[in-house]
């Protein structure tokens, strides 16, 4: 185990096809972890190890590995760039201390680059930017730096200056050390460090001056020296860049082309120099789960342990030290030959196989059977895991994504990982009864791994429905079922997952009465619903007179009844953007009030919804198309036919960019249509934007 300040927990994130996996592969090769460089286009990479990844040339699942660089231990996660697998990026960034964001030198900031950038902002993750593919025609290092500043609002500061462009790209000037790094392109050779070529001395001095000015804006000591004209040492610059980067006040920008083996050594050096160790980031905070549960219960019973209802609970802190009580976050579940493996980030303390941990969500103790260090799909047994490490554990049967695992004697509840609601579903059916059992088993295992994948039985048709984030997501699921679980199943056409809302305001009243031999059941309730602004979510309230006759458990049961009703509107879809208020609850002496109140409140809510102009909502997708000028008209015309609203048309180099909002139901088969419209020369990305009122077809 390296000392904690010699550890880096690092993610590589980017838009699809910007070169993340190639960068990760070069890291591993230069560190001596692998001895042959695999290429994405040949399907031979270490980090893209799934068959589906190698065939498609994309990353689907976040792959973890560990390697050493200059006596530092680096835990690396290579994340997907495709929007269907956004959850993989989200849950990785939640547990990482730093990230390398890869940008294409030609395309610059692409739609998914923005998504991953904002995810990193959400978790305040320090970043380095690596502008890749600078050997490509049309690549522009200063253009992409400006793009990062303008489109992402980031304080991007170039700490390198490329030497040559496109085919002539041959090296970089290190503006901190005032040296030129010349790349041969041979994967086995480190860059040659030479003096800056005479013809570039002036431009390098200008670029260095701009870099120092940017650092001086953030560092008083550097500003003082700069204004007084004093020489600023390399050590002082390094320290100032590191401090500003860790404080998420600056993003150092580096240049290279990973496929041609140019720029990777200095990027690794920058990871060590400027990104934080676990000891440099603020200690993780959480709450006492016992207090959080009491507070949640006294509010309205909406949260259980493991939820985030911790307002008012005292904050607990866990410093990244081995001497602190153990606390870890399970951020990913994987199945290995049917056995469950839990990836976890250890924030404090140590753990060994055989130790008992408390799963805060279930409030049960679980025992770790084995610990591993992961390298893509290979693993190495560990005797002990320390604070700051990312490891995998076997034996934790109930753990799932976002669970806090901690020392039972010192419980703490860490913030969970947000998940995303599926927007697309399809029916799937097995060939016979025996295959149905295997199908259900496989779907259950995959739902455990992936929190954005859901499966349910349709009550009306008896069909099994699977739901996910997009067509590719479901296609991969069906493919994995066949290969990994040997399940041959027929999949229907993809269908849109709708929501329901109300357009007005309504009130409902219901009485629930049943005579049972043991004890009669009775409840009477009144509920009111009204619409909320689009995207504001559900809100459950109670406005019940404080009557001593109505005990808290009765009110909690009635509130649960409202939630039960909201999970399925008049057309069977969950409600969205509705305020639901419990107005009154009436009981009868001698009757079971909890069951009665829950059933009556649910029915009152359903009646209120019916009287408040219920309406269906559909998912609207943000679609971004990159297309040649000659096909622009055809692409816009096609989007209009799909009832799309074109939001903007811009330019990037010789390409045109079209941004539109289009109903998901009109986007099936779009990739094939776009290829035929543009002779295969356009690309597009699509991600969920919002739910909006369903327009008549």
Mean pLDDT value of segment 360-376: 83
What are the DSSP calls for 209-262, one per residue? HHHHHHHHTT-HHHHHHHHTTPPPPHHHHHHHHHHHHHTTS-EEEEE-BGGGTB
Report pLDDT for 549. 58
Report pLDDT for 271. 92
Q: Is the pTM above the cut of 0.75?
A: no
489-491 and 424-430: which strand pairing?
antiparallel
Closest to 605 in 3D by CA, of 537, 502, 504, 510: 510
- Report how far residue 469's alpha carbon sits from residue 453's, in angstroms, rounded to the nearest whole number: 8
Report pLDDT for 94. 79
Window from 6-10, 178-182, 348-352 with minimum mean pLDDT? 6-10
Contact 523, 601 (CB under 8 A): yes
Mean pLDDT value of segment 171-184: 90
Question: Token pair for residue 362?
Answer: 């279930």
Cα dist. 183→173, 189, 194 in Å? 11, 8, 11
Question: Token pair for residue 465?
Answer: 């429905």
Of the pLDDT bands very low, low, confident and very high (cuts 50, 70, 90), residue 532 is very high
Window from 78-82, 188-192, 196-200 with minimum mean pLDDT? 78-82
Does 128 score more than 80 pLDDT? yes
Mean pLDDT value across the chain = 82
Does 610 score more than 90 pLDDT? yes
Does 300 score more than 70 pLDDT? no
- Report how far residue 130's alpha carbon sits from residue 253's, in angstroms, rounded to the nearest whole number: 6
Question: Token pair for residue 499?
Answer: 């929501």
Window from 19-28, 318-327, 602-611 with minimum mean pLDDT? 19-28
Window from 36-40, 408-412, 604-608, 634-638 with minimum mean pLDDT? 36-40
Report pLDDT for 80. 60
Does 578 score more than 50 pLDDT? yes
Contact 423, 496 (CB under 8 A): yes
**Angle (nearest 5°) at CA 461 between 459 and 464:** 75
Report pLDDT for 276. 92
Contact 133, 257 (CB under 8 A): yes
Mean pLDDT value of segment 631-648: 91
Question: Token pair for residue 307?
Answer: 């939820």
Does 139 score more than 50 pLDDT? yes
pLDDT tens, 474-526? Answer: 877 787 777 777 777 788 877 788 889 999 999 999 999 888 777 888 889 99
Of the pLDDT bands very low, low, confident and very high (cuts 50, 70, 90), residue 636 is very high
Does 103 score more than 60 pLDDT? yes
Mean pLDDT value of segment 407-423: 80
Report pLDDT for 674. 85
Does 152 score more than 80 pLDDT? yes
State CA 666 to chain mean position distance. 26
Q: Indicate the SS3 state at residue 675.
A: helix
**378 or 14: whose pLDDT is higher?**
14
Q: What is the percent of the chain with per-residue pLDDT over 90, rounded to a whole number?
A: 26
Which region holds residue 280: left if phi is over 0, alpha if psi is between -120 and 50, else beta? alpha
Report pLDDT for 146. 92
Report pLDDT for 375. 67
State CA 632 to chain mean position distance. 32
Mean pLDDT value of segment 382-388: 88
Mean pLDDT value of segment 355-370: 89
Does 569 score more than 50 pLDDT? yes
Report pLDDT for 561. 93
- Report how far residue 679's alpha carbon sits from residue 241's, in angstroms, rounded to the nearest whole number: 46
Q: What is the percent of the chain with per-residue pLDDT over 70, rounded to a whole number?
A: 85
Report which secondary-structure segment, H or E, holds 334.
Answer: strand 327-336
Report pLDDT for 45. 44
Number of other CB atoms surrounding residue 580 within 10 Å: 26
**Which alpha helices (H) appear in 316-468, and where do they start and end?**
433-449
Of the pLDDT bands very low, low, confident and very high (cuts 50, 70, 90), residue 50 is very low
Window from 17-26, 533-542, 653-662 with minimum mean pLDDT? 17-26
- Report how far residue 176's alpha carbon sits from residue 159's, in angstroms, rounded to the nearest whole number: 7
**75 or 601: whose pLDDT is higher?**
601
Of the pLDDT bands very low, low, confident and very high (cuts 50, 70, 90), residue 58 is very low
539-542 and 578-586: which strand pairing?
parallel
Cα dist. 24→90, 260, 372, 580, 681 in Å? 18, 14, 21, 49, 28
Report pLDDT for 527. 94
**325 or 430: whose pLDDT is higher?**
325
Radius of gyration of the chain (CA): 28
pLDDT tens, 251-286? Answer: 999 998 888 888 888 999 999 999 999 888 888 888
Of the pLDDT bands very low, low, confident and very high (cuts 50, 70, 90), residue 651 is confident
Contact 672, 662 (CB under 8 A): no
Does 419 score more than 70 pLDDT? no
pLDDT tens, 429-462? Answer: 877 777 788 888 888 877 877 777 888 877 666 6
Report pLDDT for 476. 78
Report pLDDT for 113. 77
Report pLDDT for 40. 44
Closest to 124 in 3D by CA, of 2, 248, 224, 38: 248
Report pLDDT for 275. 93
Report pLDDT for 529. 95
| Tokens 């399925």, located at residue | 568
Report pLDDT for 303. 39
Polymer length in residues for the chain: 697
């Amino acid at each position: 185990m390296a000392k904690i300040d010699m550890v880096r927990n690092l993610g590589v994130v980017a838009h699809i096809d910007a070169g993340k996996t190639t960068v990760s592969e070069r890291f591993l090769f230069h560190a001596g972890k692998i001895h042959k460089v695999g290429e994405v286009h040949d399907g031979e990479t270490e980090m893209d190890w799934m068959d589906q990844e190698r065939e498609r040339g994309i990353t689907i699942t976040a792959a973890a590995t560990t390697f050493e660089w200059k006596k530092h231990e680096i835990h690396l996660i290579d994340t997907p760039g495709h929007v269907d697998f956004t959850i993989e990026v989200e849950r990785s960034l939640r547990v990482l201390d730093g990230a390398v964001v890869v940008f294409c030198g030609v395309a610059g900031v692409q739609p998914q680059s923005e998504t991953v950038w904002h995810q990193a902002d959400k978790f305040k993750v320090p970043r380095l930017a690596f502008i890749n593919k600078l050997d490509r025609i049309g690549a522009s290092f200063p253009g992409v730096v400006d793009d990062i500043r303008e489109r992402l609002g980031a304080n991007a500061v170039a700490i390198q200056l490329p030497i040559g462009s496109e085919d002539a790209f041959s090296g970089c000037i290190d503006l901190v050390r005032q040296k030129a790094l010349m790349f041969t392109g041979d994967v086995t050779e480190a860059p040659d460090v030479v003096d800056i070529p005479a013809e570039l001395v002036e431009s390098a001095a200008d670029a260095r001056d701009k870099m120092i000015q940017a650092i001086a804006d953030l560092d008083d000591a550097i500003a003082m020296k700069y204004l007084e004209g004093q020489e600023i040492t390399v050590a002082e610059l390094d320290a100032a860049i590191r401090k500003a980067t860790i404080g998420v006040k600056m993003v150092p920008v580096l240049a290279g082309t990973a496929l041609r083996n140019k720029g990777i050594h200095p990027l690794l050096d920058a990871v060590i120099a400027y990104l934080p160790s676990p000891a440099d980031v603020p200690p993780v905070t959480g709450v006492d789960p016992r207090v959080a549960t009491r507070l949640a219960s006294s509010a309205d019973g909406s949260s259980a342990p493991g939820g985030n209802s911790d307002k008012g609970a005292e904050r607990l802190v866990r410093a990244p030290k081995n001497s602190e009580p153990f606390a870890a976050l399970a951020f990913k579940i994987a199945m290995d030959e049917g056995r469950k493996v839990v990836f976890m980030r250890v924030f404090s303390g140590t753990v060994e196989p055989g130790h008992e941990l408390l799963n805060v969500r279930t409030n049960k103790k679980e025992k770790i059977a084995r610990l591993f260090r992961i390298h893509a799909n290979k693993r190495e047994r560990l005797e002990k895991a320390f604070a700051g490490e990312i490891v995998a554990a076997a034996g934790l049967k109930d753990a799932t994504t976002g669970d806090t695992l901690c020392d039972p004697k010192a419980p703490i509840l860490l913030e969970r990982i947000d998940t995303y609601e599926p927007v697309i579903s399809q029916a799937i059916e097995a060939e016979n009864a025996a295959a149905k059992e295997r199908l259900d088993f496989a779907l259950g295992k995959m739902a455990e791994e992936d929190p954005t994948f859901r499966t349910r039985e349709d009550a009306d048709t008896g069909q099994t429905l699977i739901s996910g984030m997009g067509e590719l997501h479901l296609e991969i699921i069906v493919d994995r079922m066949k290969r990994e679980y040997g399940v041959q199943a027929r999949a229907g056409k993809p269908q849109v997952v709708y929501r329901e809302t109300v357009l007005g305001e309504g009130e409902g009243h219901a009485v629930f009465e049943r005579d049972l031999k043991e004890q009669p059941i009775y409840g009477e309730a009144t509920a009111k619903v009204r619409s909320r602004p689009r995207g504001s979510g559900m809100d459950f309230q109670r406005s019940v007179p404080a009557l001593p006759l109505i005990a808290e458990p009765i009110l909690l049961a009635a509130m649960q009844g409202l939630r039960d009703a909201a999970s399925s509107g008049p057309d069977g879809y969950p409600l969205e953007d509705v305020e639901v208020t419990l107005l009154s609850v009436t009981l009868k002496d001698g009757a079971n009030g909890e069951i009665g109140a829950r059933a009556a409140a649910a029915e009152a809510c359903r009646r209120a919804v019916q009287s408040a102009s219920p309406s269906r909502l559909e998912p609207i997708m943000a679609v971004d198309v990159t297309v040649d000028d000659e096909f622009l008209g055809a692409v816009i015309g096609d989007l209009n036919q799909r009832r799309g609203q074109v939001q903007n048309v811009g330019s990037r180099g010789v390409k045109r960019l079209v941004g539109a909002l289009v109903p998901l139901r009109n986007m099936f088969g779009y990739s094939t249509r776009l290829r035929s419209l543009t002779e295969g020369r356009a690309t597009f990305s699509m991600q969920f934007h919002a739910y909006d009122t369903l327009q008549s077809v």
